[in-house]
Chain A
Amino acid sequence: MLIRSRPTIRYSEVTPKATYLNRRQLIAGVAALAATAPGLAAAAKLNGAPSPYSIGEPPTALEHITTYNNFYEFGLGKDDPAKNAGALTTAPWSVAIDGLVGKPGSYALEDIVPAVLEERVYRLRCVEGWSMVIPWIGFPLRDVLAMAEPTGSAKFVAFETLVRPEEMQGQRGGFQTLDWPYVEGLRLDEAMHPLTILAVGLYGESLPNQNGAPLRLVVPWKYGFKSIKSIVRITLTEDVPATTWNLQAPNEYGFYSNVNPGVSHPRWSQASERVVGAGLFAARRETEMFNGYAEEVGAMYADMDLARYY
């Protein structure tokens, strides 16, 4: 795998300027999505400049990426989000950015998404023991955080998913599996890390609803559930924010939840993973420390006992 901690060339050198998506086109794309939403068919084209952070592996089939999802707001089955997420309205969309920031407020999606996007081909490793390779289209989270100007006392970033029971059928009914909203969090240095992105698309098109449209987090060295979907709030905090799966089962899902083959989930091993789309007789893949990003992110956890801070 070819990953450098810092790009050796600028994106502008990699991608001809003509292929940059200009702001107007992006806004038009989002508007088109709004007009034709719900559903997959509404996907708008999005260009992303190639990134040196991408892994050189063939992506998982789009069909698998869009039909095998954990998005409990739309049901507990892996195929439920694909069936039910079409009901979600993703435009207009705004994100509240608040807490310890100089410029708190409600930001329209168009004001957060930059004109120039990148394609990041990342492996997504689910805590359940499977993985996919997904060509995300997005931009570094740190650009958005910088825009809101975190204050000196900010140490963590908390995220919140939409609560809209009338469109999210998993949030309706008497028997609720999780408490809503789904919440997640990162340490500020993790959030500012260049690998951490907000994604607005995949496979060159805007995000399908079941993958977390219109805006989701992607933190490639952590288990998939950390990469929160359909974000409506980003809050800078001084204290460790609550996270949904940690609230659900604190002994099983820690705040960090870094991919770590050496630390088992209490109920199953994390040493290896099934590769989605590889077929019935495919070999398991040995899970890599930090999902293969040890060189880039290892330093952030240098002094930590990762068995304790799982």
Chain B
Amino acid sequence: MHAALRHGPLDVAGVLARVARDGAGASSVFVGTVREQHLGRPVVRIDYEGYEPMAAAELTGVAREVAARYPETCVAVEHRLGTLGVGEASVVIAVSHAHRGPAIAACAETIELLKRRVPIWKREHFADGTVDWVDPTASSAVGAESAA
């Protein structure tokens, strides 16, 4: 199990390497990236802010919980904080298991729990110069926040 916050670019191959096991027959990777628009408005960059000690603890808790729910998986997750441009990775999750089913399911569950619990926020900078904190609970965002 590995969980960490980073202040620089994420290394997808490095996170994947953390779950490499001789007994693994499958590794599933999720990469969340900054999207070029939000609800149709062009986005140029996003600031990620975290309550860092708690975010680190919750990220670790999520990884532990997923590893417990899917026995024999190996889980690694890293989340980036700071200012990210379009296309940059904000989160990388890798899960390995002897078989693909648990690897894929555990990877999917990790991002869902992370988005629900880990105290990290994003402030979008739009092309028109305005900025706004993303609120997934706002009515306009329901159903529109399915991507990371």
Mutual binders A and B: no
Which A residues lie at the B interface, using CB under 8 A? none
